[in-house]
Amino acid sequence: MHYDSTQARTISVREAARLQSFPDGFTFSGSMNPAFKQVGNAVPPLLSFALATEIMRNIRGGI
């Protein structure tokens, strides 16, 4: 993650997960670097839910 010069720190895995809409209780595997990779490679959960909801609406004929 990118360094923030005003706070002299990088964001945490938990902060990155919140930005991606992961719930606070979600657990990532491994140490910090693999956890950052999991967050970065993931489709944000709220985006996934919105897409799935729309796909189901269209399948059921609610266009």
Q: Mind listing the pLDDT tens digit of every residue in the chain (63 residues)?
A: 556 677 777 889 999 999 999 999 999 999 999 999 999 999 999 999 999 999 999 999 866
Q: What pLDDT shows up at residue 47?
A: 94
pTM of the model: 0.70
Q: Please count the structural domains in the chain.
A: 1
Structural domain that includes position 40 = 3-59
What is the CATH number for 31?
A: 3.90.120.10
What is the predicted pLDDT for the residue at 16? 93
Residue 52: count other Cβ atoms within 10 Å of its Cβ. 10
Could you tell me where the beta strands, DSSP code E, fall in 1-63?
A: 3-4, 9-10
pLDDT at 8: 76
Contacts of 26 (CB under 8 A, 6+ apart): 17
Q: CA dihedral in degrees (52, 55, 60, 62; nearest 10)?
A: 110
Query: What was the pLDDT predicted at 48?
Result: 94
